[in-house]
Chain A
């Protein structure tokens, strides 16, 4: 069964360092998302991406964050200068249609620990 894959599964970094989280969405999907979940808290929307541009973003997704689809398969989330509060599980998701009708498939997540 097709699945969303994410790498790395766990990354530890020093505060102020840049981090890139990678995702390979399901191949025929057109809509891509990043969500995050701070330990013990709710899953929160970060950004949605369609047709090679950001379609929506949350207040969390400030100038320190960026997303890119560098080739036909990868979808990346970059955090330019990590802060302690960026420590969380980051989930990539993809869908083949508008999320108001289509199912979102989530990856297994990348755990980011900022020291």
Chain B
């Protein structure tokens, strides 16, 4: 069954610190892997999109990595800000049925001053 699992479930860090969020998936074959940021009660906002052939993609302080062999991805946040407090969701697009994005449960990040 196609699944996307994320860890940790939640994370608290101090402002200015870095953190790394993990994503493991079983979706195969897959077309691309995305990371979204979702503020509480809001819609998801795209951070990065990586195709299966890409290893890394950056968007400002956000850097995503992808290892298609081990089916793992990570999202690294550098120099965290209070506004980074949100859920970060890993999403995989299957190669077949590519309209059906498969969402992870997300990691809830809280950045404290």
Q: What is the interface of chain A, defined by CB distance below 8 A to chain B? A: 4, 31, 33, 35, 41-45, 48, 55-56, 58, 89, 91, 93, 98-101, 103-109, 111
Contacts and interface: CB of A to CB of B under 8 A. Distances in A.
A91 B99 contact: no
A45 B99 contact: yes
Nearest to A109: B43
B31 A100 contact: yes
Contact of B46 (A33, A41, A43, A104): A104
Nearest to A49: B99
Interface of B: 31-32, 41-46, 49, 51, 89, 93, 95, 97-106
A45 B100 contact: yes
A105 B98 CA distance: 16
Contacts of A105: 46
Given A33-B99, A48-B99, A103-B49, A43 B89 contact: yes
B42 A108 contact: yes
Nearest to B45: A106
A23 to B, nearest CB: 11
**Which residue among B43, B100, B101, B102 has the maximum number of chain A CB atoms within 10 Å of its CB?**
B43
Contact of B98 (A4, A99, A103, A108): A99
A108 B93 contact: no
Contacts of B102: 45
Nearest to A105: B46
B43 A56 contact: no
16 contacts: A4-B43, A41-B105, A42-B103, A43-B44, A43-B89, A45-B99, A48-B99, A91-B44, A99-B93, A103-B46, A104-B101, A106-B43, A106-B44, A108-B42, A109-B41, A111-B41
Given A103-B46, A108-B42, 10 more contacts: A31-B99, A33-B99, A41-B105, A42-B105, A45-B99, A45-B100, A48-B99, A91-B43, A100-B98, A109-B43
